[in-house]
Structure 1
Amino acid sequence: MKARFLNRWVLLLLIFSVTFLGCNNDDDMSVLTDPIGDNNGGGDDDGGGPQSGTQGEITLYRVSGNDIQKIRDYQVSGQDIAYQNDVARHQQLWGFTKDVVPVAHRNKMNEFMIYNGSVTGSAGYVVQTKQDLSTWQMGLAINFADDQNELLYTIIHEFGHILTLNDTQIDASVGSGSCSNYFPGEGCAKTDSYINKMHSLYWADIWEEFQNAQNDESAHQAFYVKYQDRFVTNYAATNPGEDIAEVFATFVTRNNRPAGNTIAEKKILLMYDYPELVQLREYIRENLGSNRGRARSILPSPGSWKKANTLGNAKSSHCGHKH
């Protein structure tokens, strides 16, 4: 689930090539496109009336702290008209997102898209809105949001992409030829970044084998079977970008700290080495737990999404991480 820069003047159509890094697109979705960057106006007063979306776009919002402000409604028809008019549901989805993403991290998420996931078969995605990776758009599929367990897991996973691919982690100005660290696609991973650490510890020794398997689905599947104790879900073996997003989601949703008997468990333990990630885990678990005036916890279980047991396209770029 990752994304490439959408130029202010160019409508980039990124086709569902899945992974979160290097333009990560999650396997079940292509990138929603919109000329984001021209966010100086609200509603449809930004250049000639309502726009037609090509990837199920319904309503785009600007993120401002605790609130979202409408940038535009897209031209829609059929059931999408009802989805567009259901502003209360938009706000509910934003409320769940706030439960996962603390306000201090929302400066990295400047846009929030409501869309119909039937076009791409995805429940959520993230895509960068600036080339330097400093800001991102998160999208949630309103028609796939009835399964609250999967919805919340999707938000956590997508937030994991923003967390591990933003400009504090990746240098977008460094190309692959000049990168001496892991290169996810969006830029060069910084030496002390979360993804570079995980790659150097748990991917470097099998990296050549993984790259040789990328072009063949059966070879990729054989790669996963051989190294399945390294991955928290099948989908995590898609590539390092999806791996770290799945590890983060498992780290957050798993109740107990693992013993570290497998590499998959060691990856989770790696998250515990960072106090700021432990703090994020506590924030999310507290907000989704039963101690927030809820009758029961709404914290999803690890790997609780429809493609957890499938393998994504290893070669797909992380552009537009779709879930």
Structure 2
Amino acid sequence: MKYLALLILAILFVPQSALAAVTKPTATTSTISADTNWSFNRLGKGINVGSQIEKQVEYTEDELVNAYRYKKGKLANHEQYSSGVKVDKNDLAVWNIFEGISGKAFAEKYVYALLTYKEPQSAYLAYVQTLASKDKSWQLSVNVNAVDLNNKKWTRDMAITLVHEYAHILTLNNAQMKKGKGLEASCLKVGDTFWVARYGCTKEDSYLGMFVKAFWTPADIMAYRAAQKKGDEAGLYKGQNEAFVTPYAATSPVEDIAESFTDFVLQQKPVGTTSIRDKKIHFFYQYPELVKMRTQIRASISKYF
């Protein structure tokens, strides 16, 4: 019997993926201040940030562990999958990391459910998607086979992954994207909009729309669409290391903005903008609300670094 995993979006280990493999953070600094550089050279190493953004995911009865509804600021049994089950302490710990990143108000507005599953062969830590029946609501899925709350590296990697996943919700929610019958064809033709399967067309002045306009030329998008059809998105990184913060970022504009946002949070502001990669991090500083968000996220996850 299969359970429909309320859809989720993903990306890297969730810091990086559409989800495919990305880079693992390396050394961290020993002291944390408001703008400490947690210098991860994520380039070429890799946390695997898996993504199911444009897919519908199903789990077998053996794979699905727990499912929770998130309402009124608390996790509760998901009526579709379980009842009378106490919230697992590990599941709650992971949720608390995410809620600390997103903020309770954002989570209450957009996140409908937390689902935990076991896939021993999967390198992915987590991913997100919108729900099939409620495209304004999101589900966070976590691979509990990988959970090790006593391992600082694991909690750090999970925090990084969840920043990446949060970036997906931040940039693909219904306030940023629009849907409508026949919209795909018109969106694909217009040069200053970008179409994402299942999520729709970027709205004017949306984060993703402005990011694509700034960093993805029509030729880049054509190359991406062609690679997507062939299943060769990973090949887009070849010779482009100065343009992307991680190899996974090169796989699509959706992953590019999520990975770049993750580095915006983790790294100090680049001194210069000689590379496109640095310009992508500078991109977020033009939005006061994102700068404020960065400070809040760093304060929340600093304990894991």
Give the TM-score normalised by structure 2: 0.72
Q: Match for residue 265 of structure 1? A: 278
Q: Is the 8 A contact 2:171 2:207 kept in 1?
A: yes
Q: Match for residue 97 of structure 2? A: 96
**Identity, % of aligned positions:** 26
The one-letter amino acid of 1:208's match is: M
Kindly state the Cα deviation for residue 129 of structure 1 after the two structures are TM-superposed.
1.8
Q: Match for residue 141 of structure 2? A: 139
Q: Is the 8 A contact 2:97 2:159 kept in 1?
A: yes
Point out the more displaced range, 226-235 or 65-74: 65-74
1:183 aligns with 2:180: no
Q: Is the 8 A contact 2:63 2:117 kept in 1?
A: yes
Matching of residues 69-88 of structure 1 within 5 Å: 69-71=76-78, 87-88=88-89
Find the aligned partners of 1:33 and 1:213 in 2 and give their Cα distance.
22
Where in structure 1 do 4 or more consecutive aligned residues deviate above 4 Å?
10-14, 16-20, 28-34, 72-75, 215-220
**Relative contact order (C-alpha < 8 Å, sep 6+): which is higher?**
1
Matching of residues 278-297 of structure 1 within 5 Å: 278-289=291-302, 297=303
Gaps of 5+ in 2: 21-49, 149-153
1:26 aligns with 2:25: no
Q: Match for residue 223 of structure 2? A: 209
Find the aligned partners of 1:260 and 1:12 in 2 and give their Cα distance.
41
Q: Deviations over 1:137-167 (max 9, x none)?
A: 1111122132112111111111110000000
Gaps of 5+ in 1: 1-9, 35-51, 76-83, 290-296, 300-323
Kindly state the Cα deviation for residue 130 of structure 1 after the two structures are TM-superposed.
5.6
Q: Is the 8 A contact 1:17 1:25 kept in 2?
A: yes
Find the aligned partners of 2:121 and 2:65 in 1 and give their Cα distance.
12
Q: Is the 8 A contact 2:75 2:87 kept in 1?
A: no
Matching of residues 238-249 of structure 1 within 5 Å: 238-249=251-262
SS in 2 for 1:155: helix
Q: Classify 1:237/1:285 alpha carbon distance in 2 versus 1 (closer, same or farther; 3 Å).
A: same
Q: Classify 1:166/1:233 alpha carbon distance in 2 versus 1 (closer, same or farther; 3 Å).
A: same
Find the aligned partners of 1:109 and 1:199 in 2 and give their Cα distance.
25
Q: Classify 1:193/1:89 alpha carbon distance in 2 versus 1 (closer, same or farther; 3 Å).
A: same
SS in 2 for 1:168: coil
Give the TM-score normalised by structure 1: 0.68
Question: What is the number of equivalent residue pairs in this alignment?
Answer: 254
Kindly state the Cα deviation for residue 65 of structure 1 after the two structures are TM-superposed.
4.4
Q: Deviations over 1:234-258 (max 9, x none)?
A: 0000101111111111111113444
1:123 aligns with 2:125: yes
Find the aligned partners of 1:86 and 1:68 in 2 and give their Cα distance.
7
Q: Classify 1:17/1:55 alpha carbon distance in 2 versus 1 (closer, same or farther; 3 Å).
A: farther
Q: Is the 8 A contact 2:6 2:130 kept in 1?
A: no
Kindly state the Cα deviation for residue 286 of structure 1 after the two structures are TM-superposed.
0.8
Q: Is the 8 A contact 1:176 1:187 kept in 2?
A: yes
Kindly state the Cα deviation for residue 197 of structure 1 after the two structures are TM-superposed.
0.7
1:298 aligns with 2:291: no
Find the aligned partners of 1:19 and 1:133 in 2 and give their Cα distance.
22
Q: Deviations over 1:211-270 (max 9, x none)?
A: 34444567852x322322110000000101111111111111113444222111111111
Find the aligned partners of 1:105 and 1:116 in 2 and give their Cα distance.
27
Find the aligned partners of 1:244 and 1:157 in 2 and give their Cα distance.
9
Q: Deviations over 1:280-323 (max 9, x none)?
A: 1111101122xxxxxxx314xxxxxxxxxxxxxxxxxxxxxxxx
Find the aligned partners of 1:29 and 1:240 in 2 and give their Cα distance.
13
Q: Is the 8 A contact 1:131 1:172 kept in 2?
A: no
Find the aligned partners of 1:33 and 1:17 in 2 and give their Cα distance.
11
SS in 2 for 1:140: strand
Q: Match for residue 247 of structure 2? A: 234
